[in-house]
A and B are shown apart, each in its own frame.
Chain A
């Protein structure tokens, strides 16, 4: 990643990478601390799709060992802004 992201931009990227897993309205209203897999009923295929989109959006390779840091929108934002 060329430059560090602001929290606001990172939040938008994370919510954007979740598109299709719920309605746009509900995704926009999703609390930052809601557990993504449970709240959106993501299976492993969905989560891989989410990771792919996120990787592409920030041009950063996300390892499987990083998955434990991608549990909520807030933790994803934290991961992206400190990567």
Chain B
């Protein structure tokens, strides 16, 4: 069965924290829907749905840190009944379709009678809940028979259990619907959940609501650093949302720097780089872009950076020896061209999101993709598709005015392409001295995987493609 997994933002990222589920078990989802938000040392990542289907089981509770690659949830084909749990799992049933089972009325003050499914044949399994809920209940000493299930079909979800645990403590706190992670955030920040207006389903308080409330109270009272919560990276601190932006966890620049340092050190220690550079005439590209941009709306303008990405993506198809990974002492060519794009953060540091299948995108689509990954990277809120493992990376420092940049290869990739600024340079034109717009393209490549001749062929291919920009 297909699964959503904890995404990674690079080979040196080992774990992530599940911040918030945006879906429930049994929900119909479509390709591109955001099902969960996770947090990593470098950025928050919105986990997107990769196909249409029905959410099966949520395997990881909110607020939990798990290793990269850990299954987070299962997804079943559209129209499927959520999978019947294995008989070995105690007290589990196959929930009936939500549309056929009446939702139990909300009655937090008195334990509700659980709704029994049609195919009920054992008393234990009257309590519709995932094995995870059963385990948490067991650990907390809660009898599920006394818990009211608020989900369709009377299923018991995490929020119901949280409520039961609170009630059992005999606290005088009002019963508030909230995600587990929101509760922990509120607890850490010393905010009463009951005072927060929830934006989630049925007014449930979500992590973003807590952050908004915290940032609201910060204006009145000096902020204090929340105490670190165990089992969570220090990066997931509460931060005030940018105006007009969803609140994002803050990422500790020192931790981000450590990750970059580790990745670069490993690259330089393990990869024997060779370096090539080539001067590329940009007259044709510049003229074509200027004409194209004169004819399209301002919002559809294409920048030279997108043209350069398109040239790299297509050139590497003709020189596939540079597109792939060096793993276990051999080169593994990649069947797709997933372009890593180095994005400089405003606060320092870099993030390298990926444009998947860049060689198949038309130029306007590639421009849209480039803007998307750059904006999301700078907002430290990526999508899981941005975390697709890249097959080759591009770094472009032309906007900062450098002539050339020789990048450090992102292992286990075997090449990184660098572009400097397009500048007017004196050069020989038809036997005379002329001035033309030119740029320096570079290649840093892994000498274990390829030799200079391959690299030279690649740079030549990039140059050739840029002379006919209308074909990109």
**Which residues on A are within 8 Å of B, measured CB to CB?**
19-20, 24, 41, 43-45, 48, 51-52, 55, 61-64
Among A19, A20, A24, A48, the residue within 8 A (CB) of B301 is A48
B294 touches A44 (CB 8 A): no
Identify 9 residue pairs between A and B in the complex whose beta-carbon atoms are under 8 Å apart, listed by A's number: A19-B243, A41-B346, A43-B400, A44-B304, A45-B303, A51-B298, A52-B298, A61-B298, A64-B290
Contacting residues, chain A, for B304 (C-beta < 8 A): 44
Chain B residues with CB under 8 Å of A45's CB are 303, 305, 370-371, 374-375
- Per the bound structure, the CA–CA distance linking A20 and B346 in Å amounts to 11
Choose from A20, A52, A64 the contact partner of B293 (Cβ within 8 Å). Answer: A64
Residues of B contacting A51 in the complex (Cβ-Cβ under 8 angstroms):
298
* Chain A residue contacts of B346, Cβ below 8 A: 41
Question: In this assembly, does B242 line the interface, its C-beta being within 8 Å of a C-beta of chain A?
Answer: yes
Using A41-B346, A44-B304, A45-B371 as known contacts, say yes or no to A55 and B242 having CB atoms under 8 A apart.
no
Contact B399 A43 (CB under 8 A): yes
Pick the contact of A44 from B242, B305, B344 — CB < 8 Å? B305
**Cross-interface CB contact of A62 among B298, B370, B374, cutoff 8 Å:** B298
Q: Which residue of B lies closest to A47 (CB)?
A: B399
Q: List A contacts of B305 (CB < 8 A).
A: 44-45
Q: Which of A20, A45, A51, A61: most chain B CB closer than 10 A?
A: A45
| Cβ-closest chain B residue relative to A20 | B242
B294 touches which one: A20, A41, A48, A63 (CB < 8 A)? A63
Closest to B374 in A: A45
Which B residues, 261 to 314, have Cβ-Cβ distances below 8 Å to chain A? Answer: 290, 293-294, 298-299, 301, 303-305
**B residues within 8 Å of A by Cβ?**
242-243, 290, 293-294, 298-299, 301, 303-305, 344, 346, 370-371, 374-375, 398-400
Which residues in B have their C-beta under 8 angstroms from that of A48? 301, 303
Q: Using Cβ atoms and an 8 Å threshold, which residues of chain B touch A24?
A: 243
Q: Give the Cβ gap from A81 to chain B, nearest Cβ, in Å.
A: 20
Q: Is the interface of B mostly helix, strand, loop or mixed?
A: helix
CB neighbours (8 Å) of B303 from chain A are 44-45, 48
Compute how far the CA of A19 lies from the CA of B294 in the bound complex, rounded to whole angstroms. Answer: 26
In whole angstroms, what is the CA distance A52 to B298 when docked? 6
Q: In whole Å, how far is B266's beta carbon from the nearest beta carbon of chain A?
A: 28
Q: Do residues B299 and A52 form an inter-chain contact, with CB atoms below 8 A? A: yes
The 5 closest A-B pairs by CB, nearest first: A43-B399, A55-B298, A44-B303, A44-B399, A45-B374
Chain B neighbourhood of A61, CB < 8 A = 298
Nearest A residue to B304 via CB reads A44
CA A63 to CA B301, docked complex, whole Å: 10
Q: How far does the alpha carbon of A19 sit from the alpha carbon of B244 in the complex, in Å?
A: 11
Residues of A within 8 A of B293 (CB): 64
Name which residue of chain B comes closest to A19, CB basis.
B243
Residues of A within 8 A of B399 (CB): 43-44
Q: Which B residues lie within 8 Å of A52 (CB)?
A: 298-299
Chain B residue nearest in CB terms to A22: B346
CA distance A55 to B399 in the complex (A): 22
Closest approach, in angstroms, between the C-beta of A64 and any C-beta of chain B? 6
- For A40, give the chain B residue with the smallest CB separation: B346
Residues of A within 8 Å of B344, CB to CB, are 43
CA–CA, A43 and B375, complex, Å: 12
Chain B residue, CB-CB nearest to A24: B243
CA distance A62 to B400 in the complex (A): 23
| Chain A hits for B374, CB < 8 A | 45
Residue of B nearest to A62 (CB): B298
Not counting A44-B399, A48-B303, A64-B301, a sample of 17 additional A-B residue pairs whose C-beta atoms are within 8 angstroms of each other reads A19-B243, A41-B346, A43-B344, A44-B303, A44-B398, A45-B303, A45-B305, A45-B370, A45-B371, A45-B374, A48-B301, A51-B298, A52-B298, A52-B299, A55-B298, A62-B298, A64-B290
Name the residue of chain A whose CB is nearest to the CB of B379.
Answer: A20
CA distance A25 to B294 in the complex (A): 35
Chain A residues with CB below 8 A from B400, complex form: 43
- Tell me how far the C-beta of B341 lies from the nearest C-beta in chain A, rounded to whole angstroms: 11
